[in-house]
Amino acid sequence: MPGRIFLFLFHRFFLPLFLRMVLGVRFLGLENVQKLKNKQFFIAANHNSHMDTLCILSALTWKQYLNTKVVAAQDYFGGKGIRTKMISFFFRTLLIPRKRPENSLEPDPIEIVQVEIRKGHNIVFFPEGSRGVMEELAPFKMGIGYILKDFPKLEVLPVFADGLGFIFPKGSHWLLPHHARVKFGVGFQVDSRGPKEIRDEVEFRVKMLGNWKGKMRKTSED
């Protein structure tokens, strides 16, 4: 129970205050996710920074947050220490191996995610697979297509985060306040599309979300 109280304080007070007031993150289209209430959803977002996860979690309602799993790489976030425990507690991680198995004994990442969806959990997924280059959208991997093809009626929400890579980029130890925007798109269903079509559709929708006027510049080179 004390864990719950910590979690509540973290999600309802610390996160919004820290992200909005200190770091300078603005949220757009929040109603797109919050109106879903008890409906299950699958969030596909671009990935530049660990802050992406924090921002998406902070945008959810308390109920949604409790029922959400963030898909994360086993080799990076796995381990036995207190750090892993803390991360999985606050960030709600669902650890998967990065590669598909070579024999039937190894776990299949696609299946791990699908099992969680069948259990009724909401999923936060980064189809780029890695944080990649600062503030650049990498091509989406096929994983998202394989996962979603079995769930034609699941609500898929595209999310585009803009500027978070400047706050806490890959390879930097310095967390710096910087204006950023996280935009939630309108949900859609993949229906009877095949894996490749699903991947292309999700990639297109996330990209479109990122194409709005007044966006932060792509890189720091100019």
Residues that bind other proteins (CB under 8 A): 24, 134, 163, 166, 169, 172-179, 216-217, 220, 222
Q: How many CB atoms sit inside 10 A of residue 115's CB?
A: 12
Q: Tokens at residue 159, please?
A: 């999310």
Q: Could you tell me the smallest distance in angstroms from the CB atom of residue 15 to other proteins?
A: 19
d(CA 148, CA 144): 6
Nearer to other proteins, 28 or 73 (CB): 28
d(CA 154, CA 165): 29
Nearer to other proteins, 138 or 175 (CB): 175
Q: Could you tell me the smallest distance in angstroms from the CB atom of residue 134 to other proteins?
A: 6
Q: Tokens at residue 31, please?
A: 């109603």
Nearer to other proteins, 165 or 185 (CB): 165
d(CA 54, CA 161): 11
Q: Could you tell me the smallest distance in angstroms from the CB atom of residue 221 to other proteins?
A: 8
Q: Could you tell me the smallest distance in angstroms from the CB atom of residue 186 to other proteins?
A: 23
| Length of the chain (residues) | 222
Nearer to other proteins, 176 or 208 (CB): 176
Q: Could you tell me the smallest distance in angstroms from the CB atom of residue 90 to other proteins?
A: 23
Rounded (10°) CA dihedral 42, 48, 46, 67: 10
Q: Could you tell me the smallest distance in angstroms from the CB atom of residue 26 to other proteins?
A: 8
d(CA 58, CA 47): 16
Nearer to other proteins, 142 or 216 (CB): 216
> How would you classify the pairing of strands 155-162 and 25-28?
unpaired
Nearer to other proteins, 102 or 221 (CB): 221
Residues with Cβ < 8 Å from 214, sequence gap 6 or more? none
